[in-house]
Amino acid sequence: MDAREWVDLLKKYDEIVEINEEIDWNLEVSAYTAMASRVGDGRSSILFNNIKGYGPGNGRIHGAFTAGSRRRPWRKSALALGMDPDIGWKEFRDEFIRRFKHPIKPMVVDDSEAPCKENKMIGKEVDLLKFPWPFIHQTDGGRYSAGFQSEIIEDPDTGWVNWGNYRMMILSKNRFTGLQVFGQHGPTIFYTKYEARNKPAPFCYILGGDPAILYATGSALPAGVCEADYVGALRQEPLKVVRAETNKLFVPAEAEIVIEGEIMPHERADEGPIGEYTGYVHSKNKMPVFYVHAITYRSNPIITLSTEGVSFNDNMTVFNTIFSVEAYQAFRDAGFPVTDVRGLGEVSYATVVIATEVPYPGYIRELTNFFDSHKGSIWGSSGIIVDADVDISGEDMSYKVYQEMATKCDPKRDIFITYTDHYSPPLSPMVSAKDRLLGTKGCRWWWNCTTPRTWAKREKVNAVAGSDLFPQDMIFKSRSKLDSLGVK
Ligand SMILES: Cc1cc2nc3c(=O)[nH]c(=O)nc-3n(C[C@H](O)[C@H](O)[C@H](O)COP(=O)(O)O)c2cc1C
């Protein structure tokens, strides 16, 4: 699948609207995208075909490209990965994990088979401003690609190539910068190795292509593996890649835009501010500068847009989905009797909810220590643990979780803090700007809402609602009757 087939699929399922009137890249596309996410279940993407100053045929913007639905945040992810969009959360999660266990190496194709080579700008011809980058929030520091874009860079010591999802802020015709959160693989770990040798770091930035790329590059995969192999895993066939024009890296043949160049050592520019998924403006930071030597692109390329921080958006669906799956897999692989993991939808992945058996005293601390050491846990500072039989897989997840917090958590016994001793949540306003850059003072509050292991069986509580107390046929009969009476 490529970005265009993705649009066609969304059309087929009536989950996208197209706007052909002229719309401004300056805030207007973003306002439309944010408002679309507020309507109903927040399910509609928008394709802007006519961007002010560019005109039809000269670049499109796909807003809320994976966002929604509010009630079933994994829905578009299922669709993007070729699953039934009506699949349940647990089935989706297990299928994602099943596929992720079988990485498939990419397949190299010739330039003639690579749509991303359709148009080229090399050297002095390079002009990033040829594309309609959106200006997303009034307080932002510049025009951004803050959606589906990935940075590809090689470890100068081992040859390991990392693909990671990192936003980019345009600085000029041939320069950009981007948020490179401390400790992530490519941008900080590899780049600082080049910088220590006083050498520029060759990079490629890719926009668009198979939406599965977004899921692999946004994942907290371990060191030493290449995300391209996991795109193959998710799609269950090799990703087609082609050699870049000016360096030896490989890029997806069906990418919409490929930007190639070098990150200069010892040079920094202001990145940000930008409105982030936390709902707050992430302050300006000094970040490395990317010099562009070549751009190859498909005609009328599609740029993606995620309007973060307002209402429902892509981060709340993609990021939340990826990290919930990953954390669940990590727990299960390590032998924890965890039955489900999900980020609390309203706050993306900042609050993790873990449903688990409690097999022995002291287990909860083992569980939280394990979670704190997981790479994907850096994005939040809070966690809630509920009993294994609390079903957090449904549309009413938040209601269930609040109910557990309000009724089963004894504040003097069950609320505690753990010190993660690695990152503090990098974009969170709870951390001072200085500590955010150092990134080392992380901690997390936990609400343990599980029934104490030591309680006798008779003391355990039974839920009042649901199929436990009413026979199935009675539930079915009453629902049918209410349906026939037109109760909505
Ligand atoms: C939609 C989306 C946008 C993201 N934007 C950024 C970003 O701008 N900067 C950043 O440091 N991480 C960002 N991330 C997080 C990284 O992509 C993610 O942590 C990834 O696991 C990093 O992988 P790596 O350490 O292998 O490079 C984003 C993730 C998603 C899903």
pLDDT in tens, 206-237: 999 999 999 999 998 989 999 999 999 999 99
Question: Ligand 1 centroid to 417 CA: how many Å?
Answer: 26
Q: How high is the pLDDT of residue 272?
A: 93
Residue 162: CB within 6 Å of ligand 1? yes
Displacement of CA 393 from its chain's centroid (Å): 19
Residue 341 — pLDDT band, cuts 50, 70, 90?
A: very high
Q: How high is the pLDDT of residue 312?
A: 73
Question: Ligand 1 centroid to 102 CA: how many Å?
Answer: 22
The two three-digit tokens of residue 412, written as one number: 């003097």
* Residue intervals in the chain for CATH 2.30.110.10: 3-305
Residue 472 — pLDDT band, cuts 50, 70, 90?
A: confident
- Of 480 and 354, the structure prediction assigns the larger pLDDT to 354
- Of 468 and 481, the structure prediction assigns the larger pLDDT to 481
Q: How high is the pLDDT of residue 438?
A: 67
Question: Ligand 1 centroid to 150 CA: how many Å?
Answer: 9
Closest to 46 in 3D by CA, of 79, 23, 70: 23
Share of the chain above pLDDT 90, in %: 71
Output the CA torsion 89→90→91→95 (10° steps): 100
The model's pLDDT over 27-37, given as tens digits with 9 standing for 90+, comes to 999 999 998 88
Residues 6+ apart with CB under 8 A from 198: 265, 266
What 3-state class would DSSP assign to 114? coil
Residue 315: CB within 6 Å of ligand 1? yes
Question: Ligand 1 centroid to 141 CA: how many Å?
Answer: 19
pTM of the predicted model as reported, rounded to 2 decimal places? 0.92
Burial of 472 (0-12, 13-18, 19+ CB in 10 A): exposed
Residues 6+ apart with CB under 8 A from 186: 151, 152, 153, 162, 163, 164, 166
Give φ, ψ of 352 to 5 degrees.
-90, 140
Query: What CATH number should be reported for the domain whose range is 334-468?
Result: 3.40.1670.10
Q: Which residue's CA is the closest to the ligand 1 atom numbered 20?
A: 218
| 210/76 Cα distance (integer angstroms) | 14
Q: How high is the pLDDT of residue 311?
A: 67
The two three-digit tokens of residue 130, written as one number: 């040829």
The model's pLDDT over 5-23, given as tens digits with 9 standing for 90+, comes to 999 999 999 999 999 999 9
Residues 6+ apart with CB under 8 A from 225: 103, 160
Residue 439 — pLDDT band, cuts 50, 70, 90?
A: low
The pick from 184, 230, 437 for probing ligand 1's pocket by mutation, whose C-beta has the most ligand atoms within 8 angstroms, reads 184
The model's pLDDT over 145-154, given as tens digits with 9 standing for 90+, comes to 988 899 999 9
Cα 25–Cα 28–Cα 31 angle in degrees, nearest 5 = 130
CATH architecture of 3-305: Roll (2.30)
Residue 220: CB within 6 Å of ligand 1? yes
| 62/8 Cα distance (integer angstroms) | 12
Residue 66: CB within 6 Å of ligand 1? no
Q: Which stretch, 298-302, 400-404, 433-437, 457-461, has highest mean pLDDT?
A: 298-302
Q: Which residue's CA is the closest to the ligand 1 atom numbered 23?
A: 164
Question: Ligand 1 centroid to 366 CA: how many Å?
Answer: 27
Residues 6+ apart with CB under 8 A from 248: 202
Helix (H) or strand (E) holding 462: none
The model's pLDDT over 357-397, given as tens digits with 9 standing for 90+, comes to 999 989 999 999 999 988 888 888 899 999 999 999 998 89
Question: Ligand 1 centroid to 8 CA: how many Å?
Answer: 27
- Of 66 and 116, the structure prediction assigns the larger pLDDT to 116
* Residue intervals in the chain for CATH 3.40.1670.10: 334-468
Question: Ligand 1 centroid to 317 CA: how many Å?
Answer: 14
Residue 185: CB within 6 Å of ligand 1? yes
Residue 428 — pLDDT band, cuts 50, 70, 90?
A: confident
Half-sphere exposure of 133 (CA within 13 A, CB side): 22
Residue 296: CB within 6 Å of ligand 1? no
Give φ, ψ of 229 to 5 degrees.
-65, -30
> Which of 58-62, 100-104, 373-377, 440-444 shows the lowest per-residue confidence on average (mean pLDDT)?
440-444
Residue 181: CB within 6 Å of ligand 1? yes
The two three-digit tokens of residue 351, written as one number: 């609050």
